[in-house]
Structure 1
Amino acid sequence: MKNWIAFIAVAALFGALAGAGTTMLFEKNSFKEYYSVENAVHVSPHDFVEAKKKGDSSTLLVDLRSKGEYEAKHLAGAVNIPATSMTKQEVLDAFNSLPKDKEIIVHCYASSCMLGRQVGKFLSENNFYVKELTVGWAELNRDYSDYLVSGSEAGLIPISEETAVCNGESFSC
């Protein structure tokens, strides 16, 4: 009987140690997965603006706010797809009409706003993939006022020689 108790105790100890190692491995993989996804889908406003100042035309920013809010003021270069006043099919059709040679980036009201994530999820379920700006209108209005325009036209961010696009070699952005 004592041998069985000792055997069970040793087995439980090994099981606990194996479980702890598995948990730590799972946690490390979860961190790797989280940052891989974050880097795959998010675009910083700094990187976006600096790339546009350098003349990059490979991306298109889509402002998901209402038409009136967009026309009052928006980040230069953004086009408007007012998702909350459209059916899902209209949203899908609007995104499908965008240039196919550009990476599409969406933004909505604030970094905490779920609209961009909801639209992104819906689009991905329909095989259309977009990235998301890490901030929304509230932060753009506060931090990027030099690049805001009014009206129904997208406008342009002026090309400038003084840019600081991240090159992937540093963490400065």
Structure 2
Amino acid sequence: MNALDYFNARLEATISPMDYLKLSQMEPDKYFLIDVRNGPINVRSLTIKDAHVIPQLELPNRLNEIPKDKEIIVYCWDVWCNTAAKVAKFLLERGYKVKELTGGIAAWKEMNFPVLDSSQDVEVSDNCGC
């Protein structure tokens, strides 16, 4: 693979937080954003506003919640986390159109984009199901 092919593939498979924010504001019904992070709810209580929370470990049992007629955007913790890439591959193999949000929730927060904190709304459990 040459550099041009690499960058074309990268652009096809990912979307930046800025691009996602702009595009989802212009066409809100086109996208379905999924927070796929695993782990205890208390450490992942901060989510991107309007994201659907479907942890990777629950995904196979919750496919019916994911529309096939929308572009699916998945995110996890940050650039070092590959959970979103694993979920993207899983969904692509099942016929979904998917992109990974570059940088995950960490990049989103760094840019001060809208988030939702559900820590006051949930009961904290020590059992993460990992």
> When the two structures are superposed, what TM-score results if normalisation uses the length of structure 1?
0.59
Check the 8 A contact 1:92/1:123 in 2, yes or no. Answer: no
**How far did 1:78 drift?**
0.7
Give the secondary structure class of the aligned counterpart of 1:47: helix
User: Which residue among 58, 61, 64 is the counterpart of 2:30?
Assistant: 58
1:132 maps onto 2:100 in alignment: yes
Select the residue among 124, 137, 150 that pairs with 2:117.
150
Determine what percentage of the aligned residue pairs are the same residue.
30
Q: Which has the higher strand share?
A: 2
For the 8 Å contact 2:76–2:104, the answer to whether it is kept is yes
Q: 2:17 aligns with which of 45, 48, 62?
A: 45
In 2, distance between residues paired with 1:125 and 1:52? Answer: 24
Aligned length: 117
Q: Which runs of 5+ in 2 are unaligned?
A: 120-130
Instruction: Give the match for residue 79 of structure 1.
Output: 52
User: Greater helix percent: which structure?
Assistant: 1
Partner of 2:91: 123
- Does the C-alpha gap of structure 1 residues 52 and 127 become closer, same or farther in structure 2, counting only changes over 3 Å? closer
The residue identity in structure 1 corresponding to 2:116 is V
Compare CA radii of gyration and give the structure with the larger one: 1
SS of structure 2 residue aligned to 1:144: coil
Letter in 2 for 1:78: A
| CA deviation vs aligned residue, 1:144-171 (integer Å, no higher than 9, x gap) | 34x111239xxxxxxxxxxxxxxxxxxx
Match of 2:2 among 1, 14, 30: 30
TM-score scaled to structure 2, two decimals? 0.75
Confirm or deny: 8 A CA contact 1:65 1:108 kept in the other structure. Answer: yes
Structure 1: runs of 5+ lacking an equivalent: 1-28, 153-173
Tell me the C-alpha RMSD between the 2 structures.
2.3
In the alignment, structure 1 residue 110 sits paired with structure 2 residue 78: yes
Q: How many angstroms apart in 2 are the aligned matches of 1:128 and 1:55?
A: 18
CA–CA distance in structure 2, aligned partners of residues 50 and 126 of structure 1: 27
Aligned 8 A contact 1:63 1:81 in 2: yes
Q: Could you say if the C-alpha distance between residues 95 and 111 of structure 1 is closer, same or farther in structure 2, counting changes exceeding 3 Å? A: farther
Q: Tell me: higher relative CO, structure 1 or 2? Use CA pairs within 8 A at least 6 residues apart.
A: 2
